[in-house]
Amino acid sequence: MDLRVAAYAVVERRGKLLLTHWRRGHLHGWTLPGGGLESGEDPRDAVIREVLEETGLEARIGKLLGVDSRVMVREEVPEGTDPELHTIRIVYRATVADGPLRHEVGGSSDEARWVPIREIRSLRTLSLVQTGMRMAGLDQRARGGSSRGGSDRGGSGRGGRQSRGQGGQSKPRE
């Protein structure tokens, strides 16, 4: 089983969330900007680098929102990867400098977009989007509710696998 450690940013501005469109082989969907750590790289530095690569925007990293541990099974794993992949996803709150979005060329994402939070449910997203929104307390807004008092409910009904949120609490995986 392969292990991948990655860091991501939840960037919200004026009711919109910064997302990137990820594509690899037959798999694709909208996700948070971020990606895998390079050898010896600090997670905060990885987020800054990845946000710049994927969106063209300079990020300022804020609060650590949580760490999500997840084992992906064959149908979720990109082609050319071990049939099972253990991902450790470190999620931070971040802000970005004003400026035009730039789409990554030749990388893992092909588009960056500010998406109204209330419209995210209508998009094909990777589970990381819901995980990051829950960690940031934005999941209620996506359902049309208040931004206060997020819910820990969720999950896909796929065998009750768990992820760890901030502080190590078990949370249902989506």
Q: Which of 50, 76, 79, 111 is an active site residue?
A: 111
Q: What secondary structure does DSSP assign to 19-54, as a single string?
A: EEEEEETTEEEEE-SEEEPPTT--HHHHHHHHHHHH
C-alpha to C-alpha distances, 148 to 7, 94, 173, nearest whole angstrom:
25, 19, 21
**Three-class SS of residue 142?**
helix
Distance CA 42, CA 45 (A): 5
Beta-carbon contacts of residue 2 (< 8 Å; ≥ 6 apart): 81, 82, 84, 85, 86
Residue 38 among the catalytic residues: no
Within the chain, what is the greatest distance between any pair of CA atoms? 43
- Give the active site residues: 111
